[in-house]
């Protein structure tokens, strides 16, 4: 929505439509799917809580052997691999379809090129941005209209790195998919390595979500939540603008 031109228009613009409707809807579907996929994934992992490298499981030499994850974080809470798999594959399908809608829209609207691809000047500010983040200083006004370079790079990494990695390593564990695309097993260095990467990728996702949530909290939680629900973002996060 363009700013209305009135005699008042010298007053800096405060309200910015930050997130398109499709981004907001797919974001929340994603958040829901992620939670259930993580919890059911831990249920599946608990059926054999050890990880290996290569095609097969050398039971005497796991790369990592863990205690089972506690019931408060698994889906279902009691041990039941069959049901964990049902939840997992149902929400994996939903996540993939949701992701395809998001990608299709994003490419059609040039969302990625315009909003997520850092410009050269933005890349040069990366260290200042890191320092600002550490001091919990976040941009205001016009500078807050665009994602900052750390957001851009992180979102690009998640959308085009972590998500495809999780889906591909997940598919590599499917013996039927392996017959159709044997290259997948080769690329990931074996089915058990794919399982290991799937687990590591899930851990990476958890890390991303934790950092994401902390930053949502410290950079104006209501403003952030409002913009992800209604689209509208207060460029001054409740403070007065320079001009008024």
Partner 1 sequence: MARDRLHRRDLLKTLAALGGLGSLGGLAIWDRDRLSKAPRFRAVLDEANSLTYRTQRRLIGADRLAREYTEADISPVFRANGSTDPQDDAYLDLVDDHFASWRLKVDGLVERNLSLSLAELRALPARTQITRHDCVEGWSCIGKWTGVPLSVILSRAGVKPEARFVVFHCADTLDDGSGGFGGADPESIRYYETIDLIDAAHPQTILAYDMNGKPLTVPHGAPLRLRLERQLGYKMAKYVMRIELVSSFAKLHGGRGGYWEDRGYDWYAGI
Residue ranges that bind partner 1, judged by CB under 8 A: 14-15, 28, 32, 35-36, 39, 44-45, 47-48, 50, 52, 55-60, 75-78, 80-83, 85-87, 89-90, 92-93, 171, 173-180, 182, 185, 191-192, 195, 222, 225-226, 229-230, 232, 234
CB closer to partner 1 out of 56 and 203:
56
- CA of residue 43 relative to chain centroid, distance: 21
Cβ 60 to partner 1 shortest distance, Å? 8
CB closer to partner 1 out of 92 and 149:
92
Pair 152, 123: CB distance under 8 Å: no
CB closer to partner 1 out of 159 and 177:
177
CB closer to partner 1 out of 150 and 185:
185
C-alpha to C-alpha distances, 87 to 40, 41, 43, 92, 95, nearest whole angstrom: 6, 9, 10, 8, 12
CB closer to partner 1 out of 157 and 210:
210
Block residue for tokens 């919890």: 39
- CA of residue 74 relative to chain centroid, distance: 20
Pair 1, 231: CB distance under 8 Å: no
DSSP bridge pairs for 64: 51
Q: ∠183-184-186 over CA atoms, to 5°?
A: 60
Record the tokens describing residue 138, joined without a space: 């976040």
Cβ 180 to partner 1 shortest distance, Å? 4
Cβ 53 to partner 1 shortest distance, Å? 12
CB closer to partner 1 out of 180 and 211:
180
Cβ 124 to partner 1 shortest distance, Å? 33
Based on the number of CB atoms within 10 Å of its own CB, is 50 exposed (0-12), middle (13-18) or buried (19 or more)?
middle
Cβ 94 to partner 1 shortest distance, Å? 8
Question: Which run of H or E residues covers position 188?
Answer: helix 182-188
Record the tokens describing residue 232, joined without a space: 């509208």
Cβ 139 to partner 1 shortest distance, Å? 19
């Amino acid at each position: 929505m363009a700013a209305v031109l009135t005699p008042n228009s010298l007053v800096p613009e405060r309200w910015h439509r930050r997130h398109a409707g499709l981004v907001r809807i797919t974001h929340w579907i994603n958040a829901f799917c992620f939670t259930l996929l993580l919890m059911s994934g831990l249920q599946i992992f608990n059926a054999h809580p050890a990880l290996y490298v290569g095609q097969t499981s050398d039971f005497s030499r796991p790369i990592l052997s863990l205690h089972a994850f506690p019931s408060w974080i698994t889906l279902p809470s009691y041990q039941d691999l069959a049901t964990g798999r049902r939840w997992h594959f149902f929400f994996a399908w939903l996540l993939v379809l949701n992701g395809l809608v998001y990608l299709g829209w994003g490419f059609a609207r040039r969302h990625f090129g315009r909003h997520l691809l850092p410009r050269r000047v933005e890349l040069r500010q990366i260290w200042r941005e890191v320092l600002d983040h550490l001091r919990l200083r976040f941009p205001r006004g016009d500078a807050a209209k665009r994602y900052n370079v750390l957001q851009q790079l992180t979102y690009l990494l998640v959308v085009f790195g972590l998500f495809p990695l999780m889906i591909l390593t997940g598919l590599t564990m499917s013996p039927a998919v392996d017959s159709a695309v044997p290259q997948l097993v080769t690329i990931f260095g074996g089915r058990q390595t794919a399982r290991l990467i799937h687990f590591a990728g899930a851990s990476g996702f958890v890390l991303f979500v934790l950092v994401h949530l902390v930053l949502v909290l410290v950079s104006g939680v209501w403003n952030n939540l409002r913009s992800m629900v209604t689209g509208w973002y207060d460029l001054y996060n409740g403070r007065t603008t320079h001009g008024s």
